[in-house]
Chain A
């Protein structure tokens, strides 16, 4: 039996004798430095996850400590750029959780038909897979021409990527399956052309998408929306910051507007639960009711 674990192998992480309190201090100092020098505020991110990503970057830079990484990123903007990617890129997919999109078609689309104009916010859109999925869905429901999708992320690099509308060709089979299970009514390949190893999505899909940089931690609301998508973004925040962002969403939704969270995220552990009704038993779709 070949088992790929050798004696010297280990997970990215602190050495054994590491003092947990000291480690926390180093991490807090690094995040404070990033905030004061570069303006990115990761100070209220979920600790276990940010700690894991920082140690991966320590490894990636060939360093041995968080303090070493702090010195590197403060003096080397390229290293900061690499860290920023580690901290903000999340692995997503088009029509991730097909049952969610199916439910969205059945429960939310009928509500959207009652509005003459629809404003949707994709908060933390990363490389854009979900925005393009929604553009396709609305197109098929005949609603896209009266919709405006605001796709925002903290990271300009991922926004540039999202704007291009090119996704890896080797994932198209998976996305096609997702699309069909999500209730897609056409042939998924109508939406893209294969080029080299990328799938270029038809530019008509981006005609009503506005991409812009927005920081959920520090920026305010910029409009009133009928739907806010924030799926698998809040999981990276600690509870205090989650509540703050929920207050931003609450203020940014019209009355009876819809909040869509990731399938393992819940309003149950936030103080905004009483402000919303559940639109679905199986999916995390909530409607602002008070």
Chain B
């Protein structure tokens, strides 16, 4: 396994469902303006939801927050929100969208984004599972961990809904379990690489 600390992490992918809005606001607001990884947020939401999530997150953050569009480049220190009713796939250096069938009733599917991030960024990806009332993301987080990336899970006891983090914890026993504020603080201490490079 390659030593990630030698090159840094390029990409953080965050998956959440029930209770996710409040958790994402806390997480994103806690990331400092000097944060250099690309952050991709996948939250289950209704297919007709508009840009409110992006706007709310932008309010609390010095980092630029965008909703993903097809082939949008991944840039350091940017926060990206997966759009509703599409799967968001990570390619080396940019995003691709897909309208393939929902996976376990979800589109966006956290598993789909996480496994594509694992494949494109391997040991330079960080996966984070937050509050949620289903098990989406557990297998994707395992893929990230198996490929040498870092797996973080919100402490199910402190999460608004502990089902999703508990499932992730079971699927990835070596994942680090932390409170939400600790996750944000920990991410800020990790060495950052550069998501734009395409030599993954």
Which A residues form the contact surface with B (CB < 8 A)?
1, 3-5, 9-11, 13, 16, 20, 46-49, 51-53, 90-92, 232, 234-236, 239, 242, 262-266, 268-269
Q: Mark B140-171, 1 if CB is under 8 A from A, else 0.
A: 10110011000000000000001100110011
A3-B166, A3-B167 in contact; A264/B96 too (CB < 8 A)? no
Closest CB in chain B relative to A175 CB, distance in Å: 13
B97 touches A53 (CB 8 A): no
CA distance A1 to B140 in the complex (A): 20
A48 touches B119 (CB 8 A): yes
Which B residues form the contact surface with A (CB < 8 A)?
67-73, 83, 86, 89-91, 96-102, 111-112, 115-116, 119-120, 122, 135, 138-140, 142-143, 146-147, 162-163, 166-167, 170-171
> Quick one: which of A20, A46, A262 has the most chain B CB within 10 A?
A46
CA distance A92 to B98 in the complex (A): 11
Closest A residue to B104 using CB positions = A4
Closest B residue to A233 using CB positions = B99
A48 touches B99 (CB 8 A): no
A3-B135, A10-B139, A235-B97 in contact; A20/B70 too (CB < 8 A)? no
B100 touches A1 (CB 8 A): no
A239 touches B71 (CB 8 A): yes
Known: A5-B139, A48-B96, A264-B69. 18 other contacts (CB 8 A): A3-B163, A4-B135, A10-B139, A13-B115, A13-B143, A46-B89, A46-B96, A49-B98, A52-B98, A52-B116, A53-B100, A91-B99, A92-B99, A232-B99, A235-B86, A265-B69, A266-B71, A268-B69
Closest A residue to B115 using CB positions = A11
Closest CB in chain B relative to A88 CB, distance in Å: 11
CA distance A269 to B96 in the complex (A): 12
A242 touches B170 (CB 8 A): no
CA distance A21 to B86 in the complex (A): 28
B71 touches A48 (CB 8 A): no
A5 touches B96 (CB 8 A): no
Interchain Cβ contacts under 8 Å between A and B, 13 examples: A1-B162, A5-B138, A5-B171, A11-B111, A48-B116, A48-B119, A48-B120, A49-B98, A90-B100, A235-B86, A242-B71, A265-B69, A269-B73
Contacting residues, chain A, for B147 (C-beta < 8 A): 16
Contacting residues, chain B, for A92 (C-beta < 8 A): 99
CA distance A232 to B69 in the complex (A): 11
Contacting residues, chain A, for B83 (C-beta < 8 A): 263-264
Closest A residue to B139 using CB positions = A11
From A10, A13, A235, B99 is in contact (CB under 8 Å) with A235
Closest CB in chain B relative to A2 CB, distance in Å: 9
> Quick one: which of A1, A20, A262, A266 has the most chain B CB within 10 A?
A1
A5-B135, A91-B100 in contact; A266/B91 too (CB < 8 A)? no
A11-B115, A265-B70, A269-B71 in contact; A49/B140 too (CB < 8 A)? no
